[in-house]
Structure 1
Amino acid sequence: MSDLLPTIAAELALFAAVGFFLFAIDDLAVDLLYIARRLWRSLTVYRRHPRAFADRLPPASAGWMAVFIPAWDEGAVIGDMLRSTLERFGTGDYRLYVGHYPNDPWTDEAIASVPDPRIRAVCLPHAGPTTKADCLNHLYRAMQRDEASRGERARAIVLHDAEDVVHPLELELFAALIGRGGAVQLPVVPLPDPASRWIGGHYCDEFAEAHGKELVVREAIGAAVPLAGVGCAIDRDALGRIADAQGGRPFDADSQTEDYELGLKLGQLGHRTLFVRIPAQPGSPAMVASRGHFPATFAAAVRQKARWIGGIAFSGWDRLGWRGGAGERWMRLRDRRGPLAALLLLTGYAAFILYVQLGLAAQLGAPLNWVRDPLLETLLLANAVLLTWRVVMRAAFTGMTYGLAEGLRAIPRLVVGNTIAIFAAWRALRLHLTPGPKAWDKTDHVFPREYRA
């Protein structure tokens, strides 16, 4: 026993250390590409061209916008969201398509409480919940019927969730840019929740880095940019091509991450997705972005992230494969590393706990045989340096979006995010191995009081 426990601890630590090192090098490559791109643009592009602002874009060509809002059990938020959206979008040629189910009267009543000719309530012909993709497909058919009656196709399809806070300049920005690519994705900026600094707050950290850096790098290397499902617009003709190839259903009803898959399918068809980070106006650092509250409890966060991991890492591997060039395959590998990352985290924490217990036992005089492993010591040192860099990057991106206080909180919130990831990966694996269709595994939503119309 004096040899067994130290050996187990050493093997667990070595496995985790090797994995952490490879992942850290992978992350470092993204960081360096981002820094190089930013320096290059500062030295070249911004010296020749003035910075753009959303409120100063040239007027777009004519065309109406269809905004899809799928809703299941959203009676608590959908009314406030629709009122806020109508107020923020103001006048314009757009229509809000809100999908709901016949066995969800609360949501139906909330939609009906906002009488406006720009709202098109679409009741699905079957009971819910199904999947968000199934709901979106029915909204697509409703839009097609309206296109036929109007004699004019929509210019783009905009995706939002029932709890989103839209930006007032969003539709104008989409109209100006949608012709340059198959889709336009805005940053997603989670709203800080004072009642959930640690659970809800860790979404702020992750999206600040992902939508401040990683999607920028994806676009720069020519890889497809996955859609976030909110704050994005899809060119009508591009979505029509996908629908034609899928029996009139552009969104795959069997998918739990239809938005992610749609972005990659657009890339496979040769349509570029523009990831646009643009300030709303001069003198303000605030970007045109989609905002909203994210899950505030541990259980809800695990459920949501399990759906993401299951749809991207498990189902995505089967459904989308490994297509594209080197950059595309690299990004897909990064997308699908979530389960392995969770396993490494679990192994690393287990090794740490074992070493702490062994150290305490040694202090109490237990006869333990410690054998130094130069490889493990070297890896631990390298990982310590790379982890320091990773913590600095996470804190920096969070701080740039939310301020110094949230940037500092991002450091301990790394442990919170890691813990949620471990439980979410386990749940995702169990759900993936469970036979049968997957229902809409949604979480409860809250619409921010300060944005209610």
Structure 2
Amino acid sequence: MSDDPLLGGIALLRMLEQELLYFAAFWFVLGALDEFAVDCLWIGQRLWRWWQPPIDESAHATQAAGPLAIFVPAWKEARVIGPMVSYALRVWPQRDIRLYVGCYGNDPATVAAAMAAAAGDARLRIVIHDRPGPTTKADCLNRVYRAMCADERASGRRFAGVVMHDAEDMVHPQALAAIGRGLATADFVQLPVLPEPQRHSPWIAGHYSDEFAEAHTKTLTVRDALRAPIPAAGVGCGFARSGLEVLAHARRVEGGDGPFASECLTEDYELGFLFSDTGRRSRFVRERAADGSLIATRAYFPSTLETAVRQKTRWIHGIALQGWDRLGWSRRPLDAWMRLRDRKGPLMALVLAVAYVWLCISGILFLAELAGLSGAIVTGSGLRGMLLVCLASMIWRAGMRFAFTAHAYGMAEGLRSIPRMFVANVIAIMAGRRAIVAYARTLRGAPVVWDKTEHDHHPAFAGAVA
């Protein structure tokens, strides 16, 4: 170590740079191999379908499961619940459905907006929670579930399945038909979700479009083909009535009051896995309507850095951290692999943070090298190999992100998706830190806090095409 404090500091930075580089490169390589494996499976699946004879369109005429109940939990959603209800009741003409909107007595604006939008349609059922809001989303869903059960007992008619949506969703006219067909052969069905682009937030809101376009075109189709567990997105998903009844009974034995876990931040994700863990068939249904439109749920996602970080904090906390505690692991290698993929959020946030710290240190050392205060870095063959893999992976990932986003949203959004990868990384780092801190608080006995996302606009206002 040099006696010169400046040279000593540079030497320490050089050592730190090497350690951070090895750490980040190792985990990036593992992550690259994981993602490349899914890419190869998806490409193989596409090639297999290309070689197969055309699918008989008469398969779409499969007998549906039966009448469906639609659950929509709503707290402080007066701005969006009206368009959601009116649009859904207009594009879903089925008379045997019932739209249950869960509200709270201390939120009269949401109740009034939902009732006004229904315009006297008897298919709408407003359910007022017996406790003031806000509670958790799962608690609201449990109240709606109990109301549905009471209606079934009173009418003698039993629903075949339950469809879940949020107040900000813009549904597809053929969504219920697709879910009904899926529930005829499966117990849980998930449709794609397409976040709507927002002109005032092309970078924050836009990164959701990129992530969902890839996940709901590639990742979930691979999981469906492998018969791996399908995580529920909480919107555009349908559950067999019998399966929910079994879960509700199991939770009552444990002191619960419905099939949804009130103490869980991502009760929808957990529900999808519980269906799979109990041996029930799950499906990801990606279909197009006769007009060529994708049968998917559209919605506006958070458009500011603060709200995006809050939402992703909830996802990481619920899926990666609570999911580890509540769902555990699986003895099936395929299921364990998928759970590991779902729970890598905190680790990847740490790796990304380390990579950006390394980048800053490397910039400082580069300036020191230009000033003649430090020599050039010497890397071994192993590290050089990992760095080459990381570089190739980064180029491949950018190409895949561009392709999926451009396919779903057009060339302009596809080009924006490449620089938006940096935005997604920053949000992931911030959300990962907040999720770990929040989880640590719960380990010390603090209550789980559901950080709700506020919604001000509905896609129907913008004339979006479902």
Shorter-chain TM-score: which interval? over 0.9
Task: Give the CA deviation at 1:439.
Answer: 3.3
Query: Could you tell me which residue of structure 2 aligns to residue 30 of structure 1?
Result: 38
Query: Could you tell me which residue of structure 2 aligns to residue 275 of structure 1?
Result: 284
Task: Give the CA deviation at 1:69.
Answer: 0.1
| Kept after mapping to 2: 8 A contact 1:323/1:329 | yes
TM score, norm. by length of structure 2: 0.92
Distance 1:302 1:3 in 2: 36
**Helix, strand or coil for the counterpart of 1:225?**
coil
Instruction: Give the counterpart letter for 1:378 in structure 2.
Output: G
Number of residue equivalences: 446
Distance 2:464 2:378 in 1: 63
User: Which of 146, 149, 157 is residue 152 of structure 1 equivalent to?
Assistant: 157
User: Which of 8, 27, 39 is residue 16 of structure 2 equivalent to?
Assistant: 8
**Helix, strand or coil for the counterpart of 2:163?**
strand
**Helix, strand or coil for the counterpart of 1:57?**
helix
Instruction: Give the counterpart letter for 1:373 in structure 2.
Output: G
1:240 aligns with 2:245: yes
Query: Could you tell me which residue of structure 2 aligns to residue 41 of structure 1?
Result: 49
Distance 1:144 1:318 in 2: 30
| Kept after mapping to 2: 8 A contact 1:6/1:369 | no
**Helix, strand or coil for the counterpart of 1:120?**
strand
Distance 1:387 1:190 in 2: 24
Q: How does 1:47-86 map to 2 (within 5 A)?
A: 47=53, 49-50=55-56, 57-58=60-61, 60-61=63-64, 63-86=66-89
**Helix, strand or coil for the counterpart of 1:121?**
strand
**Helix, strand or coil for the counterpart of 1:180?**
coil
**Helix, strand or coil for the counterpart of 1:357?**
helix
Distance 1:110 1:66 in 2: 20
Task: Give the CA deviation at 1:369.
Answer: 6.8
Query: Could you tell me which residue of structure 2 aligns to residue 186 of structure 1?
Result: 191
Instruction: Give the counterpart letter for 1:389 in structure 2.
Output: W
User: Which of 143, 147, 150 is residue 148 of structure 2 equivalent to?
Assistant: 143
Query: Could you tell me which residue of structure 2 aligns to residue 258 of structure 1?
Result: 267
Task: Give the CA deviation at 1:39.
Answer: 1.0
Query: Could you tell me which residue of structure 2 aligns to residue 320 of structure 1?
Result: 327
**Helix, strand or coil for the counterpart of 1:228?**
coil
Distance 1:372 1:158 in 2: 55
Instruction: Give the counterpart letter for 1:438 in structure 2.
Output: V
**Helix, strand or coil for the counterpart of 1:385?**
helix
Query: Could you tell me which residue of structure 1 aligns to residue 107 of structure 2?
Result: 104
Identity %: 46
1:439 aligns with 2:449: yes
Pair 1:373–1:4, CA change in 2 (3 A) = farther
Instruction: Give the counterpart letter for 1:34 in structure 2.
Output: W
Comparing both chains, which one has the higher relative contact order based on Cα–Cα distances under 8 Å and sequence gaps of 6 or more? 1
Query: Could you tell me which residue of structure 1 aligns to residue 353 of structure 2?
Result: 346
Q: How does 1:289-300 map to 2 (within 5 A)?
A: 289-300=296-307
Task: Give the CA deviation at 1:91.
Answer: 3.9
Task: Give the CA deviation at 1:92.
Answer: 2.5
Distance 1:62 1:206 in 2: 31
CA displacement, residues 404-442 of structure 1 (integer Å, 9 cap, x when unaligned): 111111100000000000000011111112233323311
Instruction: Give the counterpart letter for 2:61 in structure 1.
Output: P
Distance 2:91 2:331 in 1: 39
TM score, norm. by length of structure 1: 0.95
Instruction: Give the counterpart letter for 1:50 in structure 2.
Output: D
User: Which of 382, 389, 401 is residue 389 of structure 2 equivalent to?
Assistant: 382
Distance 2:85 2:79 in 1: 12
Pair 1:447–1:167, CA change in 2 (3 A) = same
Task: Give the CA deviation at 1:244.
Answer: 1.3
Pair 1:4–1:265, CA change in 2 (3 A) = same
Pair 1:62–1:390, CA change in 2 (3 A) = closer
**Helix, strand or coil for the counterpart of 1:133?**
helix
Distance 2:449 2:150 in 1: 27
Pair 1:255–1:349, CA change in 2 (3 A) = same
CA displacement, residues 104-161 of structure 1 (integer Å, 9 cap, x when unaligned): 2221221232342111111111122111111100010000011111101101100000
CA displacement, residues 232-271 of structure 1 (integer Å, 9 cap, x when unaligned): 1111111111111111511011011011000000001111
User: Which of 315, 328, 338 is residue 331 of structure 1 equivalent to?
Assistant: 338
User: Which of 405, 410, 425 is residue 418 of structure 1 equivalent to?
Assistant: 425
Instruction: Give the counterpart letter for 2:239 in structure 1.
Output: I
Task: Give the CA deviation at 1:218.
Answer: 1.1
| Kept after mapping to 1: 8 A contact 2:64/2:177 | no
Query: Could you tell me which residue of structure 2 aligns to residue 450 of structure 1?
Result: 462
Distance 2:239 2:158 in 1: 13
Q: Any stretches of 5+ residues in structure 2 without a counterpart? A: 1-7
Pair 1:195–1:124, CA change in 2 (3 A) = same
1:207 aligns with 2:212: yes
Pair 1:451–1:239, CA change in 2 (3 A) = farther
Pair 1:280–1:145, CA change in 2 (3 A) = same
Pair 1:423–1:368, CA change in 2 (3 A) = same
Structural RMSD (CA): 1.7
1:223 aligns with 2:234: no
Distance 1:397 1:370 in 2: 38
Distance 1:137 1:226 in 2: 19
Q: Any stretches of 5+ residues in structure 1 without a counterpart? A: none
**Helix, strand or coil for the counterpart of 2:61?**
coil
| Kept after mapping to 2: 8 A contact 1:313/1:337 | yes
| Kept after mapping to 2: 8 A contact 1:81/1:164 | yes
**Helix, strand or coil for the counterpart of 1:90?**
coil
**Helix, strand or coil for the counterpart of 1:361?**
helix
Distance 1:403 1:61 in 2: 34
| Kept after mapping to 1: 8 A contact 2:314/2:450 | no
